[in-house]
Amino acid sequence: MNEEKKAEIRERITAIREKIKEAQLNSPYRQDVTLLLATKTRTPEEINYAISLGIDHIGENRVQELLEKYDRIEKENVKIHFIGALQTNKVKYIIDKVDMIQSLDRLSLAEEINRQAGKIGKVMGVLCEINIGHEESKSGIALEEAEEFLLQVSKFPHLRLCGLMAIPPKMTSVDRQKQYFQKIMDFYIDISAKKMDNSNMAVLSIGMSDDFPIAVECGSNLVRIGTAAFGQRN
């Protein structure tokens, strides 16, 4: 990776951090925010350079890609999240390699994560993926069914229910976008107040490259940024 590319990544990450700070000041919640870099299609060199700039959370979308890069990532002080759709039969390949699975969207997947984590004596952090816009093209639990789903997930001893993840519909109107974010924030506040086994509902993962400042204003405390940090994918 040449110096020009390094400078681009450095400037982009600096700009993202500034936008997050500004959004935190505009948020009524004044929450701490974790910047997670989504590393789909990015080279280990790009990822390691971002880590050298202080990035300590990264997220992969695809099992095969994670496995190919895993040994080449300088991950000593880095948390790795799995943020993409996860097939049940692929859980065994990543169970010992990730710190959190953000895309829990069905009971059969919860059962398999619990089973595989139990084999290695691990408690896996998970986020329940909410399909806030009832979009057929997206996975996730409908908001109306989420509480019952979370209660079922909380029964698994090798899962730690850590919060919610969502990808709201793309909106041209900022006010409309905020309505979706606020809807999930309201549910997050409500469900976090309920006592459930094996849970610590500390994470609300909403906001990506095109809408993360709005998400932070509305209460997100983890944003998943790819393109805005690395530039357009090849």
For residue 172, name the pLDDT band (cuts at 50, 70, 90).
confident
Neighbours of 219 (CB within 10 A): 21
Q: Which DSSP helix (H) or strand (E) runs through 225? A: strand 222-225
pLDDT of residue 167 exceeding 80 = yes
Give the dihedral sign, CA 18/61/46/41: negative
pLDDT above 80: residue 234 = no
Taken in order 179, 139, 198, 80, the sign of the CA dihedral is negative
- 83 with 104: CB under 8 angstroms? no
Average pLDDT, the chain: 96
Mean pLDDT of 208-222: 97
pLDDT at site 92: 98
Lowest mean pLDDT among 50-64, 129-143, 190-204: 129-143
Alpha helix stretches (DSSP H) within the chain: 3-26, 44-52, 63-69, 91-94, 107-119, 143-153, 174-192, 212-217, 227-230
pTM equals 0.96
For residue 195, what pLDDT is reported? 86
Q: Which residue has the higher pLDDT, 170 or 11?
A: 11
Would you say domain 3-230 falls under CATH 3.30.70.100?
no
